[in-house]
Structure 1
Amino acid sequence: MSRRNLLRGTAISAGAVALPSLLTACGGGPADAGKTVAMGSNASDPVPKKAYGEAFKAYEKQSKEKRKVKVNTVDHNSFQENINRYLQSTPDDVFMWFAGYRMQFFAKKNLLHEISDLWSGFDGFSDAIKDQSTGEDGKQYFVPFYYYPWAVFHRRSVFQKYGYEAPKNLDEYVALAKQMQKDKLIPIAFADKDGWPAMGTFDYLNMRINGYEFHKALMAGEKAWNGTEVKEVFDTWRRLMPYHQEGANGRTWQEAAGALQKSEAGMAVFGLPQPGQQFPDDEREDLDFFVFPEINPEHGTDAVEAPIDGFLLAKKGKNLKDDKGMEAAKDLLKFLATAEAENTYLEHDPTNIAVHEEADTAKYSELQQKAVELVSSAKQISQFLDRDTRPDFASTVMIPALQSFIGNPKDIDGLVNDIERQKKTVFAAD
């Protein structure tokens, strides 16, 4: 599948309950089947939690049947780490998740209801967006809601104060990091306590060095992790490690983004929502980014990470055995597939980009407009490491592997050999 135009159609237009070991749906299920839809939410951070809440209120307000949305908000990391067990137990009817492989994996496991009937009535989504919402069986399972690019974020005022310029290649990136050290700044704010943030840096290094096609093949288990290509990725990262914020394995992404917001750090490799949500409204105009620099001229900066988030219908949803419950859940999904729903969300969270072609982009900030241009001009779009590969491989192999590398970046041979050994076991499973 070509992803060159994955988002072009849309881009040109335009209190958490912590469950440390297992996700569970809200107990018991609504008694008034067909009137209340149970929503499993991973939006545990304040900004998206409020924005989703406003979108659900908008649905309730326009619902002729006076339906309600009962939200079960779970810590984002716990949600991701326990999603497989959640879906195999008694999950909420609708839940928040990701497009692409992460959706396809659970569809193939028969843990999702297909919604091809809903898609037949959808409009405003490009063919490429529909493709990312489609399972390997050709049926649709996913309602896309927004996307956001990953890049190297910084404060405009800090760059202006010190006269910094955005680096175009790796040597300039290293030179800038060295200068930031001389200026008593942390060059690159960095965190990986949550397990996933470091994946963005790995992906960009891999795509800049080896290209997007290699990234796809590596994520699919078709390339060796102990080959020279991946070793070069870790070797390059080891060269950059002295400029990363120390103690990353004990730091949350919010803390790392906070270092950028406080002007303690000069740069950070993140998705747009991470620093965006840590900057107060009156400071967000000072937030800027540049594309992750070129390393191998053959691949340039062609590839951009731009994950798509949205909603899925759980096969074992607690209210979905009842026809009225299914009707209610699908009615909610129909609303969430509208420009109105996305407009309502983005009004309260201006750190993402709408996927619906009719969404109102007139109020987009300069940062959002720049994000749209970054994605629409990309030759390839990736979904992020833990979305482009098997979820079990991402969680059980790559999270500890990257944390191990961050803790001790010296033994690259041992690291990649261990990843390759585990990969063969995981990908051999059905």
Structure 2
Amino acid sequence: MTRPQSEAEYLASIVPPSIRGVDRRTLLRGAVGVGALLGTGALAACSSGSTSSGGATSGPITGTVTLGSNQSDAVPKAAVQSVVDAFQKANSGVTVKVNTVDHNTFQENINNYLQGSPDDVFTWFSGYRMRFFASKDLASDISDVWSSSITGMSDALKKASTGDDGKQYFVPSTYYPWAVFYRKSLFKDKGYQVPKTLDDLKTLGAQMQKDGIAPIAFGDKDGWPAMGTFDQLNLRINGYDFHISLMAGKESWTDPKVKKVFDTWAGILPIHQADPLGRTWQEAAQALQQKKAGMYVLGSFVAQQFAKGAEQDDLDFFTFPEVDSTIGTDAIEAPIDGYMMSKSPKNEAAAKKLLAFVGSPDAQNIAVKADPSVIATNDGADQAAYTALQKKSVEFVKSAKSIAQFMDRDTRPDFASTVMIPAIQSFLKNPKDIDGLCNSIEQQKKSIFGS
């Protein structure tokens, strides 16, 4: 799939005005897995209101609107329901039927889901992943929702919601940073210091092992979490621009620069939890929560595994340590989530009403209160009510010069799901054959990207 935008446009920023003000704000586009989504029929009643070609309704908006959600973990699932409850309260004539599917199943099988009988509205991701399905004519143009109802979003966020044809297909809701998370009380009790460099991280890891603690929690049973570690290392070793080009299929995976990433990763695998392929990210997070592990490279959604209050207040994070002083640590990842409308919704009027609501400050205030691991995208949201972790997340993103999404959002969907997931899991099983690994990835990349 070729990019219709220039490289500069393609790498544009997508964070709200409240966290802008840096020298260079860029955000990489994402990708999506493909397959056949099972078990989510779209059951909806038609709206009694008629819809004009511009999307405006000429009568009352009523009936049932279906929402397909990938937010299957307890905390985000409850957050979605809280937003839905508030919407229904404000729109008494509309009922929202939420169809929740396991997060990984939803992502892996989204393609056939959208070609089958999808829900009216569905949760998804900004950037490349959104543009991919818009370009395949599997999502509806919601430009009228943006022009009539969406306020408080930065131009960059609107751009991240815009398809190749210049129309909007996505409403951003929340975002979250990836970093290295730890418990403040454990570091204080043991006298640990936040590592600034990779050597510092190795030294700290050795000390934690002496103390009977697994240095870095690690779980890759679902295939995607370890992608985050690759991203962090590639950003630190080769810089943001190379990472962009690699994800775009413009660099060779046999390049010594890529091999250095895997070699460096192999060097720090001993300070990770063993046997990661048998452990989910939630199970790894529980090791951090129970202080059986000292750190965890993950998104701030790790907080979902901590009890609200004292436990979550004890959670902190730092940026992935420096590997090369000439590269530094000013590139991070901060994926953005939101909502889209399927190609032929059964209740278009109610679907657009719901989309307008989820993009509002009121809805996002509800969402981030229910799930303190994420940040609102609307600049009108009430940041005064943020937890310490949320406030730090805002500043963390604000201080970054370059922002990526995540490997499985950053590249072609087929490359991410059919090549990189098994490749990384193969590496975790046998980190010694880096040449063979990189050769295999490159051959498959050429087949998929055509170069």
Q: How does 1:292-307 map to 2 (within 5 A)?
A: 292-307=320-335
Does structure 2 conserve the Cα–Cα contact (< 8 Å) formed by 1:97 and 1:311? yes
Does structure 1 conserve the Cα–Cα contact (< 8 Å) formed by 2:182 and 2:296? yes
CA–CA distance in 1 between the matches of 2:173 and 2:18?
11
TM-score (norm 2): 0.89
CA–CA distance in 1 between the matches of 2:111 and 2:427?
26
Alignment partner, residue 164 of structure 1: 192
Q: How does 1:28-427 map to 2 (within 5 A)?
A: 29-33=43-47, 35-63=63-91, 66-121=93-148, 122-273=150-301, 275-282=302-309, 283-317=311-345, 319=346, 325-427=347-449
Q: Displacement of 1:137 after TM fit? A: 1.9
Give the letter aligned to residue 326 of structure 1. Answer: E
Alignment partner, residue 41 of structure 2: 27
Give the letter aligned to residue 409 of structure 1. Answer: P
Q: Displacement of 1:63 after TM fit? A: 1.1
Alignment partner, residue 51 of structure 2: none
Question: What do residues 65-97 of structure 1 show as CA deviations (whole Å, max 9, x unaligned)?
Answer: x10110110000101111111111111111001
Q: Taking structure 1 as reference, are residues 88 and 406 closer, same or farther at Cα in structure 2, changes over 3 Å only?
A: same
CA–CA distance in 2 between the matches of 1:45 and 1:114?
29
**2:7 is the counterpart of 1:7:** no
Does structure 2 conserve the Cα–Cα contact (< 8 Å) formed by 1:116 and 1:141? yes
Question: Secondary structure of the residue that 2:385 maps to in structure 1?
Answer: coil
Does structure 2 conserve the Cα–Cα contact (< 8 Å) formed by 1:147 and 1:353? yes
Alignment gaps of 5+ in structure 1 = 14-20, 320-324
Question: Secondary structure of the residue that 1:172 maps to in structure 2?
Answer: helix
Q: Displacement of 1:24 after TM fit? A: 3.9
Q: Displacement of 1:314 after TM fit? A: 1.2
CA–CA distance in 1 between the matches of 2:370 and 2:390?
14
Question: Secondary structure of the residue that 1:362 maps to in structure 2?
Answer: helix
Report runs of 4+ in structure 1 exceeding 4 Å deviation: 2-5
Q: Taking structure 1 as reference, are residues 50 and 372 closer, same or farther at Cα in structure 2, changes over 3 Å only?
A: same
CA–CA distance in 2 between the matches of 1:25 and 1:140?
28
Question: Secondary structure of the residue that 1:295 maps to in structure 2?
Answer: coil
Question: What do residues 179-201 of structure 1 show as CA deviations (whole Å, max 9, x unaligned)?
Answer: 11111100100010011100110
Higher deviation after alignment, 337-346 or 113-122: 113-122
CA–CA distance in 1 between the matches of 2:294 and 2:41?
45
Give the letter aligned to residue 139 of structure 1. Answer: K
Does structure 2 conserve the Cα–Cα contact (< 8 Å) formed by 1:91 and 1:314? yes
Question: What do residues 247-275 of structure 1 show as CA deviations (whole Å, max 9, x unaligned)?
Answer: 101100000000000000000000001x2
Does structure 1 conserve the Cα–Cα contact (< 8 Å) formed by 2:180 and 2:319? yes
CA–CA distance in 2 between the matches of 1:228 and 1:104?
32
CA–CA distance in 2 between the matches of 1:8 and 1:238?
37
Q: Displacement of 1:290 after TM fit? A: 0.5
Question: Secondary structure of the residue that 2:117 maps to in structure 1?
Answer: coil
Question: What do residues 5-62 of structure 1 show as CA deviations (whole Å, max 9, x unaligned)?
Answer: 532513369xxxxxxx842464362245451111110011010111110100101111
CA–CA distance in 2 between the matches of 1:239 and 1:128?
38
Q: Taking structure 1 as reference, are residues 31 and 112 closer, same or farther at Cα in structure 2, changes over 3 Å only?
A: closer
Does structure 2 conserve the Cα–Cα contact (< 8 Å) formed by 1:168 and 1:294? yes
CA–CA distance in 2 between the matches of 1:205 and 1:41?
31
Does structure 1 conserve the Cα–Cα contact (< 8 Å) formed by 2:12 and 2:156? no
CA–CA distance in 2 between the matches of 1:310 and 1:5?
16
Does structure 1 conserve the Cα–Cα contact (< 8 Å) formed by 2:41 and 2:118? no
Q: Taking structure 1 as reference, are residues 355 and 164 closer, same or farther at Cα in structure 2, changes over 3 Å only?
A: same
Does structure 2 conserve the Cα–Cα contact (< 8 Å) formed by 1:88 and 1:316? no
Question: Secondary structure of the residue that 1:37 maps to in structure 2?
Answer: strand
Give the letter aligned to residue 189 of structure 2. Answer: K
Does structure 2 conserve the Cα–Cα contact (< 8 Å) formed by 1:342 and 1:354? yes
Q: CA RMSD in A?
A: 1.6
Does structure 2 conserve the Cα–Cα contact (< 8 Å) formed by 1:25 and 1:90? no
CA–CA distance in 2 between the matches of 1:8 and 1:126?
5
CA–CA distance in 2 between the matches of 1:138 and 1:375?
27
Alignment partner, residue 16 of structure 1: none
Alignment gaps of 5+ in structure 2 = 1-7, 22-34, 48-61
CA–CA distance in 1 between the matches of 2:282 and 2:162?
32
Q: Would you say how many aligned residue pairs link Structure 1 and Structure 2?
A: 414
Does structure 2 conserve the Cα–Cα contact (< 8 Å) formed by 1:5 and 1:379? no
Higher deviation after alignment, 30-39 or 228-237: 30-39
